[in-house]
Amino acid sequence: MTVVTDKNIILGVCGGIAAYKSAELLRLLVKQGAKVQVIMTSAALDFIAPMTFQALSGNPVRSELFDQHAEAGMGHIELARWADMIVIAPATANTIAKLSQGMADNLLTTVCLASAAPLMIAPAMNRQMWLSEANQENIQRFKTRPLVFLSGPAQGEQACGDNGPGRMEEVSTIVQNCAQMLQDIQQLQVEKQALSGLLDGQRLLITAGPTIEDIDPVRYITNRSSGKMGFAIAEAAVEAGAEVVLVSGPVALTEPERVECYRVHSALQMHKKVFNHLDKVDIFIATAAVADYRVQDIETQKIKKTRDNFTLQLIKNPDILADVSALADKPFTVGFAAETSELEKCALDKLQRKNLDMIAANKVGIDTDGQTKGFEADINELSLFFKTPEDFIKQKALPEMSKRQLARELIKEIAQQYNSK
């Protein structure tokens, strides 16, 4: 028994030379105990006969959007609701373009649009088509959709004689990726359920991203923070039932749903925005990598290259976290510590010095393979230090995982500590 066993799967087949491999894909899915219905686009009918899929799936193959016979039985909406997962293999550039735009001009694209099931796309096309700007834009769009996944394409020799990316992924790998996708989705549901209601009715204020300190109209000082950690924490807090305000420095991330989001530039602006939104805040989480210093006198004109060297005078920025935790009626305050060495020592020092309830420490920097740690990466690990109600310091390690998972674990810990205060 595998994760695919007993699952209702729609296998979409588009018109490409790799369509013959879809028969083997279907066979593997059926072998694992899946119930499969096949939808072929009209172009796919030119490459392989529907009878092959009918024989292997034991179900009639559908290709018409308005099929009198099928609409009387399992119409396209029924089909969309029936599916636990949709796999499109091969997925042509044309179908990918339609799906990325939300078009519904044939049975396959209509079912995809009408279904809440996760979608696995196995692209197959000529190398140049795959690399084309338009196709890459369409692919990028999928990356923002939580239930759309890609399997491949693989590299190698192509039917047209080219060599490069665009071959359909091996069918055994597509099956493995489908199983992994279903497992990840199940895991996510479990994680979300564990968070549900933990912060019901609480108001959270979270800072995220870097700040930018201008030098002149074209130059500035900043750091590598991408905002991923802070945005993930905001999302997790919403999942836990909290009302969330997010104040972020300049980042290239889309605003999480159901979060009141404010974008700022400098540390001074972030400080002001935070203090304007502190009213009735129960928990404050400072994930932002705020610049400790700013340029004393920002030049109004671009600095000219007339001197061999010169000195920039920097002055200290206010410490947003320390200022929040110094308030008489301070919220539950959670700081972060980004350290390249002496993680525990520095984190404990910040916990005490800034009078925090909790601190999440992460090792940052660039490792020997040139990979960034903490900053920019999609994964991270945290060491939590917090004060118990008796003022003891306790430690908990959250091992390496995706920033989204880590954020959920952190929110669980924060909720537990906050509720025990």
- Which residues form the catalytic set? 160
Residue 5 or 352 with smaller CB distance to ligand PMT = 352
Site for ligand PMT in 256-285 (CB under 6 A): 267
End-to-end Cα separation, the chain, in angstroms: 46
Interaction of residue 374 with ligand PMT, rule CB under 6 A: yes
Residue 147 or 401 with smaller CB distance to ligand PMT = 401
Q: What distances in angstroms separate CA 122 from CA 90, 183, 315, 344, one per listed residue?
A: 6, 18, 54, 45
| Residues 6 or more apart in contact with residue 342 via CB below 8 angstroms | none
Interaction of residue 16 with ligand PMT, rule CB under 6 A: no
Interaction of residue 108 with ligand PMT, rule CB under 6 A: no
- Rounded to a whole number of angstroms, the minimum distance from the CB of residue 318 to ligand PMT is 6
Number of residues that bind ligand PMT (CB under 6 A): 29
| Segment contacting ligand PMT by CB under 6 A, of 96-104, 184-192, 195-203, 371-379 | 371-379
Residue 38 or 229 with smaller CB distance to ligand PMT = 229
Spatial distance between the Cα atoms of 268 and 59, rounded to a whole number of angstroms: 64
Are the C-beta atoms of 225 and 249 separated by less than 8 Å? Answer: yes
Are the C-beta atoms of 222 and 211 separated by less than 8 Å? Answer: yes
- Residue 314: how many CB atoms within 10 A of its CB? 14
Interaction of residue 204 with ligand PMT, rule CB under 6 A: no
Residue 99 or 229 with smaller CB distance to ligand PMT = 229
Interaction of residue 376 with ligand PMT, rule CB under 6 A: yes
Among candidate residues 381, 284, 290, 395, the one with its CA nearest the CA of residue 348: 395
Are the C-beta atoms of 67 and 89 separated by less than 8 Å? Answer: no
Class of residue 274 by CB neighbours under 10 A (exposed 0-12, middle 13-18, buried 19+): buried
Interaction of residue 287 with ligand PMT, rule CB under 6 A: yes
- Rounded to a whole number of angstroms, the minimum distance from the CB of residue 401 to ligand PMT is 13
Binding mask 313-332 for ligand PMT (x = CB under 6 A): ----x-xxx-----------
Interaction of residue 408 with ligand PMT, rule CB under 6 A: no
Name which position in 14, 242, 289, 407 contacts ligand PMT (CB under 6 A): 289
Interaction of residue 227 with ligand PMT, rule CB under 6 A: yes
- Rounded to a whole number of angstroms, the minimum distance from the CB of residue 229 to ligand PMT is 3
Spatial distance between the Cα atoms of 184 and 255, rounded to a whole number of angstroms: 23
Write out the DSSP string of 216-277: ETTEEE-----SHHHHHHHHHHHHTT-EEEEEE-S-S-PPPTTEEEEE--SHHHHHHHHHHT
Binding site for ligand PMT (CB under 6 A): 207, 209, 225-230, 267, 286-290, 292, 317, 319-321, 335-338, 350, 362, 364, 374-376
